[in-house]
Each structure stands twice: as C-alpha cells, then as structure tokens.
Amino acid sequence: MLDPLFAGGLRRAVMKAIAEQTEAIKRENVSMRFSPRQVSYDIATRTVFVTGTHRTEGPAAQPVSNERTYEVRVEFRNYRPLITHLDVYRGNPRSAADRRSEDLRSEDP
C-alpha cells in the first residue's frame, strides 16, 4: 500500500527498512507506539515535521520512551502525492537553519 507513495531510491530504502523492522519486532516480541504531539512546517525546505513520543515495550525489558521526529517532504506528480524525503531521528525538528548551524559546528577544529 505504501509502495506507490515513495519516490525512486527512497522506495527501495524504506521498504527494506520496514521489512527488517517487522522481522525484528516479531522476533523480539515487542510493540511500538508513536504518539504525535506537534506538527510544524519549514517553508525554506518545504518540509513537514511530526514530533512526538516513541515508546517501545517488550517482555524482556522495561518500556523505553523518547522524543522522535519524522521529517517528510511531499511533492505532487500527476495529481498524486509522492514522498521525496523521509528522515527519522531523536529529538526536536531540525530546520534548515539548525542543520547549517550543526554543519558549521562539526567543521570547527
């Protein structure tokens, strides 16, 4: 169902990650839940950020919760939505300005 929503190379990478994560979830008998708390939009990069709490629970360990952001760019081609960018990371959204600032800090000796 998701396959036609992803652009070229992104499709392959996302479908592979979903398959690997599905197997790990089954093997380890864990459950995962994401509760979105905030949706924001960066005009400069035309990126949507969905931030919330990601929680993992399983029989072998204590539940783990952390802040997670899903970063998505969507274009429309032939009147259909197409996801052209997808990134997932811990913490708050990173705008274009935040990324430039991170890049500058990593270049400092």
What is the per-residue pLDDT across 25-79, written as a single tens digit (0 to 9) for each? 888 888 889 999 999 999 888 999 999 999 999 887 789 999 999 999 999 988 8
CA distance 30 to 28: 6
- Rounded to the nearest 5°, which phi and psi values hold at 50? -115, 115
CA distance 50 to 10: 19
Residue 72 region by backbone torsions, left for phi larger than 0, else alpha for psi between -120 and 50, else beta: beta
Is the predicted pLDDT of residue 21 greater than 70, yes or no? Answer: yes
**pLDDT on residue 74:** 93
Is the predicted pLDDT of residue 97 greater than 80, yes or no? Answer: no
**pLDDT on residue 13:** 87
CA distance 52 to 73: 18
Domains of the chain and CATH, by start = 3-107 (3.10.450)
**pLDDT on residue 51:** 97
**pLDDT on residue 100:** 62
